Amino acid sequence: MASEFILLGFSNFPQHLLPAFFLLYLLMYLFTLLGNLIIMATVWSEHSLHMPMYLFLCALSTSEILFTVAITPRMLVDMLSTHHTITFVACASQMFFSFTFGFTHSFLLMIMGYDRYVAICHPLRYNVLMSTHTCARLVSWTWAGGSVMGMMVTLIVFHLTFCGSNVIHHFFCHVLSLLKLSCGKETSSVTLGVILVCVTALMGCLFLIILSYVFIVAAILRIPSAEGRHKTFSTCVSHLTVVIVHYGFASMIYLKPQGHHSMDSNTLMATTYTVFTPFLSPVIFSLRNKELKNAIKKSFQRKFSPLSS
């Protein structure tokens, strides 16, 4: 039974490229933290943003920060280190937290889609259907659901026996890379079970988001003026863009055809989901959401502009 694992990560990359990759990923990581913290601080300080959509956005920013914290710091340290071992417990913890915050993120995107559906299709009942109590309960359910998924997958995987090689061909304790190291008759059935659970949950979220937007588009098309249609749809653009980015990069990694891909290309592909997607999310929300963009601008002007006499 393995007591520790070795994260291969970027070990096979040319050594002279590692400082450049390290700097790039470090800057993206810091920007992810800063961007999400700015969004959270702005929503907290601006009373005009104290509404369900921005409460969900704060929860999404929190899950984004925690997801990157669970993976990226370890990856950055390993890029400049020769010691790439990770203990059994640390590996299990990293898998649990990455799954928990990753699934919470997907569940929150689904709830945000429902919020836009209620706002556009049932505007007169919005304050009743999306009360503060209801929003808090929905956010609690997303975190609880993410935790259950994280705990379930981690317990299933680490219940297996690991024998032979203890080298994980990844920069973090990635579930499929870890399953390749397990041995025993139940390995193939567990692998299939984990894939089915994850795909069912994620595709279920995507299906409900698409369903929300089918109703949203139908409602928008009934608006007589072009200006009214544009104004209504603009409230959905940032959420829809993040959904496309989130599921687009995930599909590129997990649904790509199984061929002769080098480990280096697989490693770089994985960073698009673990580093690049969280980096893009605050950029999209702060640039594509007019209310939030103006609130951030106003907040910065208040703090940094000299007081007019």
Q: What is the four-CA torsion angle of 191, 253, 204, 279, rounded to 10 degrees?
A: 130
Residue 260 has pLDDT above 70, yes or no: no
pLDDT at residue 254, rounded to an integer: 67
pLDDT at residue 262, rounded to an integer: 55
Q: What is the four-CA torsion angle of 298, 138, 66, 46, rounded to 10 degrees?
A: 10
- Taking 3-state DSSP, the helix, strand and coil percentages for the chain, each rounded to the nearest 5, stand at 75, 5, 20
Residue 147 has pLDDT above 70, yes or no: yes
Burial of 278 (0-12, 13-18, 19+ CB in 10 A): buried
pLDDT at residue 243, rounded to an integer: 93
More confident residue, 254 or 53: 53
The CA distance from 147 to 165, in Å, is: 30
More confident residue, 48 or 32: 32
Residue 71 has pLDDT above 90, yes or no: yes
Query: Please, are residues 207 and 114 in contact by the beta-carbon 8 Å criterion?
Result: no
pLDDT above 70 as % of the chain: 94
Weakest mean pLDDT among 42-46, 252-256, 274-278 = 252-256
Q: How confident is the model at residue 215 (pLDDT cuts 50, 70, 90)?
A: very high
Q: What mean pLDDT is predicted for residues 19-37?
A: 94
For 7, the enclosing helix (H) or strand (E) is strand 4-7
pLDDT at residue 2, rounded to an integer: 64
More confident residue, 9 or 57: 57
pLDDT at residue 309, rounded to an integer: 39
pLDDT at residue 256, rounded to an integer: 62
- Which span out of 2-6, 176-180, 292-296 was modeled with the highest average pLDDT? 176-180
Cross-strand partners of 183? 161
Give the global pTM: 0.90
Q: What mean pLDDT is predicted for residues 186-201?
A: 88
**What is the tens place of the pLDDT at every residue in 168-178?**
888 999 888 88
CATH 1.20.1070.10 fits domain 4-294: yes
- Domain locations in the chain as residue ranges: 4-294
pLDDT at residue 84, rounded to an integer: 86
More confident residue, 160 or 287: 160
pLDDT at residue 134, rounded to an integer: 93
Taking each helix axis from N to C terminus, what angle separates 237-254 and 263-271, rounded to the nearest 10 degrees? 160
pLDDT above 90 as % of the chain: 50
